[in-house]
């Protein structure tokens, strides 16, 4: 709709272990890429050349992923605008993170079909193709409508509407004060407005926190079962898989030597990774298993570090412990039905320890609870009650609302130019309106007329 700004989206359906492409189109595409990509030359990138480097968050300096980046300058691109494509290797979650970074750096989340539409509007594709575009957009639109409908009824919409109501009330006070100077309306206590805005801000932040929960619920998490041989990894896997109806799909390992299974834990899709597939008594292969396990650690969202409680904690355990440093993990003390021998180092205990018996099933329920609540913080337990902020766009809108409110609070109260400060409040409402529907001037006037006795 707004051809002038720069848009971004994930442009490929992402397969397991495949490449994900974040595509950016618009005037700021090159600049954004320049800000987050380490691999460019000093003179900038040449058009239609691949560059290799790292994607770095310019704020924190964190390296997100390594990537191939190509710049296609206007008009020799799909949309006829400057286009940058970032090819990431790290799987879905990382690609999402890269997209979020691109949006933080100034791009807007593309509407469904927007790249194609731009391509068409800029004369890149012809009429025949355009017909197809309409179909595409229609399909997307209807899907979007269904989604919107769903959300309208859902929690998200209700929660945002409540936030909007609060903001609208504050705005109505300010607008009445501005528009009706002859009706002796005084601005209410500034602290009252401030408090109310702070409350709304807190609620927005809550929603933003919930965003990652929503995402996690939708896309699932990967959990790696790690531990030295013979600690009971595969029996743990089997126990977790035991309830047949919990199994969603069974994806064969992408490499012959890794097993992946998806289970449903309280509505949270969990992909379990186990090196159990290569369990063998031959030392060499055992070592190979260790190597694979260690390699997988950085890619998992959570590691279940399985230790055999009936044996002493040994150097192999310590090796794994070292590798876990800095990654989220749960310590699982297996074989709790046998006499306890293992003395776990102090610094391991803080991570959260659960004693189980994979064989008898004891403690498994607690383990499932722990996995779930690690990803889904405060909140209801049955998965249905989550505010699923299903799209980056919504997060984008909420982030903007948050920024506007913060900037409002910075300059409020401002006795002399309050209509300028009010712009931030209006813009915040506008941003929230992108999720739940616009606040019209009539909504503001309705509030004013119902609250104040207006009319000279």
Partner 1 sequence: MVVYEKQYDIIVVGAGHAGCEAALAGARMGRSTLLLSINLDAVALMSCNPSIGGLAKGHLVREIDALGGEMGKMIDATGIQFRTLNTRKGPAVRASRAQADKQLYRARMKRVLENQENLSLKQGEVTALCVVEGEVRGVDTRVGVRFLGKTVILTTGTFLRGLIHVGLTRYAGGRAGDLPAEGLSDSLRDLGFEVGRLKTGTPARLDGRTIDFSRLEAQYGDDPPIPFSFSTLKIERPQLPCHIVYTNERTHEIIRANLDRSPLYGGVIEGVGPRYCPSIEDKVVRFPEKERHQSFLEPEGADTIEIYPSGLSTSLPIDVQFALYRSIEGLESVEIMRPAYAIEYDYVDPIQIHSSLETKPVRNLYHAGQINGTSGYEEAAAQGLMAGINTALRVQGKEPLVLGRGEAYIGVLIDDLVTLGAREPYRMFTSRAEYRLLLREDNADLRLREKGHAVGLVREDEYEGFLEKRALIVAELERLRSERLAPSESDRVFLEEHGLADLRNAVSFEHLLRRPDFSYRDLEKLDSRCLSLPETVREQVEIQIKYQGYIDRQLQQIERSSKLESCRIPESFDYSALQGLTAEVREKLMRFRPDTLGQASRIQGVTPAAISILSVAIKAGRGK
Among 59, 184, 282, 322, binds partner 1 (CB under 8 A): 184
Query: Under the criterion CB under 8 A, does residue 426 sit at the interface with partner 1?
Result: yes
**Which of 58-66, 206-214, 374-382, 445-453 is the region at the interface with partner 1 (rule: CB under 8 A)?**
445-453
Would you say 113 or 220 has its CB closer to partner 1? 113
**Which of 190-198, 277-285, 321-329, 410-418 is the region at the interface with partner 1 (rule: CB under 8 A)?**
410-418
Closest separation in Å from C-beta 175 to partner 1: 4
Please give the angle made by the CA atoms of 11, 17 and 23, to the nearest 5 degrees: 15
Would you say 244 or 456 has its CB closer to partner 1? 456
Site string for partner 1, 100-139 (x = CB under 8 A): -----------x-x---x--xx-----x--xx-xx--xx-
Query: Under the criterion CB under 8 A, does residue 444 sit at the interface with partner 1?
Result: yes
Among 18, 44, 58, 441, binds partner 1 (CB under 8 A): 441
Please give the angle made by the CA atoms of 171, 208 and 419, to the nearest 5 degrees: 20
Give the list of residues 6+ apart from residue 62 with CB closer than 8 angstroms, or none: 56
Query: Under the criterion CB under 8 A, does residue 453 sit at the interface with partner 1?
Result: yes
Query: Cα Rg for the chain, rounded, in angstroms?
Result: 27
Query: Under the criterion CB under 8 A, does residue 186 sit at the interface with partner 1?
Result: no
Would you say 203 or 400 has its CB closer to partner 1? 400
Cis? peptide before 260, omega within 30° of 0:
no
Among 181, 312, 326, 339, binds partner 1 (CB under 8 A): 181
Would you say 171 or 356 has its CB closer to partner 1? 171
Closest separation in Å from C-beta 130 to partner 1: 5
Would you say 117 or 228 has its CB closer to partner 1? 117
Query: Under the criterion CB under 8 A, does residue 2 sit at the interface with partner 1?
Result: yes
Closest separation in Å from C-beta 440 to partner 1: 7
Q: How far is CA 283 from CA 39, 225, 227, 228, 276, in A?
A: 41, 20, 15, 12, 14
Contact between 364 and 333 under an 8 Å Cβ cutoff? The reply is no
Element (H, E) at 440: none
Site string for partner 1, 138-177 (x = CB under 8 A): x--xx-xx-----------------------------x--
Helices (H), 6-126: 29-36, 92-104, 114-121
Strands of 145-267, DSSP E: 221-226, 247-249, 259-265
Query: Under the criterion CB under 8 A, does residue 13 sit at the interface with partner 1?
Result: no
Would you say 191 or 456 has its CB closer to partner 1? 456
- The strand pairing partners of 9, in sequence order, are 23
**Which of 96-104, 162-170, 305-313, 420-428 is the region at the interface with partner 1 (rule: CB under 8 A)?**
420-428
Query: Binding-site residue total for partner 1 (CB under 8 A)?
Result: 47
Whole-angstrom distance, CA of residue 133 vs CA of residue 39: 35
153 token code pair? 């009824």
Closest separation in Å from C-beta 262 to partner 1: 33
Would you say 241 or 454 has its CB closer to partner 1? 454
Query: Under the criterion CB under 8 A, does residue 190 sit at the interface with partner 1?
Result: no
Query: Under the criterion CB under 8 A, does residue 372 sit at the interface with partner 1?
Result: no
Whole-angstrom distance, CA of residue 413 vs CA of residue 425: 13
Closest separation in Å from C-beta 144 to partner 1: 6
- The strand pairing partners of 330, in sequence order, are 304
Contact between 53 and 91 under an 8 Å Cβ cutoff? The reply is no
Site string for partner 1, 38-57 (x = CB under 8 A): --------------------
What is the footprint of partner 1 within residues 205-234 (CB under 8 A)?
A: none
- The strand pairing partners of 264, in sequence order, are 269
Whole-angstrom distance, CA of residue 329 vs CA of residue 235: 19
Element (H, E) at 302: strand 302-308
Strand pairing report for 259-265 and 247-249: antiparallel
Q: What is the DSSP letter of 282?
A: -
Please give the angle made by the CA atoms of 281, 285 and 289, to the nearest 5 degrees: 105
454 token code pair? 């207006």
Would you say 75 or 345 has its CB closer to partner 1? 75
Closest separation in Å from C-beta 165 to partner 1: 17
Among the listed residues 255, 185, 188, 265, the one whose alpha carbon sits nearest the alpha carbon of residue 223: 265
Closest separation in Å from C-beta 180 to partner 1: 7
Whole-angstrom distance, CA of residue 73 vs CA of residue 71: 6
Closest separation in Å from C-beta 157 to partner 1: 15
Give the list of residues 6+ apart from residue 408 with CB closer than 8 angstroms, or none: 197, 421, 424, 425, 428
> Can you give the binding site for partner 1, defined by CB under 8 A?
1-5, 111, 113, 117, 120-121, 127, 130-131, 133-134, 137-138, 141-142, 144-145, 175, 178-182, 184, 415-420, 423, 426, 440-442, 444-445, 448-449, 453-456
């Amino acid at each position: 709709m707004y051809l002038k700004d720069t848009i971004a989206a994930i442009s490929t359906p992402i397969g397991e272990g495949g490449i994900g492409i974040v595509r950016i189109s618009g005037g700021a595409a090159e600049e954004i890429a320049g800000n987050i990509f380490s691999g460019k030359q000093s003179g900038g990138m040449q058009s239609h050349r691949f560059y290799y480097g790292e994607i770095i968050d310019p704020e924190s300096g964190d390296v997100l992923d390594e990537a191939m980046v190509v710049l296609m300058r206007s008009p020799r691109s799909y949309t006829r605008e400057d286009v940058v494509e970032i090819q990431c290797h790290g799987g879905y979650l990382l690609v999402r993170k890269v997209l979020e970074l691109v949006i933080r750096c100034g791009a807007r989340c593309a509407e469904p079909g927007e790249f194609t539409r731009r391509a068409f509007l800029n004369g890149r594709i012809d009429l025949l193709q355009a017909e197809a575009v309409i179909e595409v957009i229609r399909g997307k639109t209807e899907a979007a409508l269904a989604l919107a409908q769903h959300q309208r009824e859902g929690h998200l919409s209700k929660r945002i509407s409540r936030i909007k109501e609060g903001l609208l009330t504050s705005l109505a006070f300010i607008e009445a004060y501005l528009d009706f100077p002859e009706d002796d309306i005084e601005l209410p206590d500034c602290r009252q407005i401030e408090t109310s805005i702070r409350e709304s801000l807190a609620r927005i932040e809550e929603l933003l926190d919930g965003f990652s929960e929503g995402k996690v619920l939708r896309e699932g998490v990967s959990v790696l079962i790690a531990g030295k041989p013979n600690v009971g990894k595969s029996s743990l896997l089997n126990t977790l898989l035991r309830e047949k109806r919990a199994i969603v799909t069974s994806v064969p390992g992408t490499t012959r030597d890794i097993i992946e299974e998806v289970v449903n834990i309280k509505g949270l899709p969990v992909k379990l990774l186990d090196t159990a597939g290569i369990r063998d008594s031959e030392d060499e292969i055992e070592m190979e298993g260790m190597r694979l396990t260690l390699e997988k650690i950085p890619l998992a969202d959570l590691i279940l570090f399985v230790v055999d409680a009936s044996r002493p904690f040994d150097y192999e355990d310590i090796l794994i412990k070292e590798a876990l440093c800095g990654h989220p993990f749960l310590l699982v003390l297996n074989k709790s039905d046998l006499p306890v021998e293992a003395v776990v180092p102090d610094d391991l205990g803080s991570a959260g320890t659960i004693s189980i018996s994979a064989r008898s099933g004891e403690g498994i329920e607690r383990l499932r609870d722990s996995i779930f609540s690690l990803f889904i913080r405060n909140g209801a337990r049955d998965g249905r009650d989550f505010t699923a902020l299903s799209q980056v766009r919504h997060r984008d809108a909420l982030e903007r609302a948050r920024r506007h409110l913060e900037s409002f609070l910075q300059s409020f109260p401002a006795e002399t130019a309050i209509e300028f400060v009010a712009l931030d409040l209006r813009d915040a409402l506008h941003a929230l309106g992108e999720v739940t529907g616009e606040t019209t001037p009539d909504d503001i006037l309705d509030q004013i007329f119902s609250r104040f006795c207006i009319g000279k």
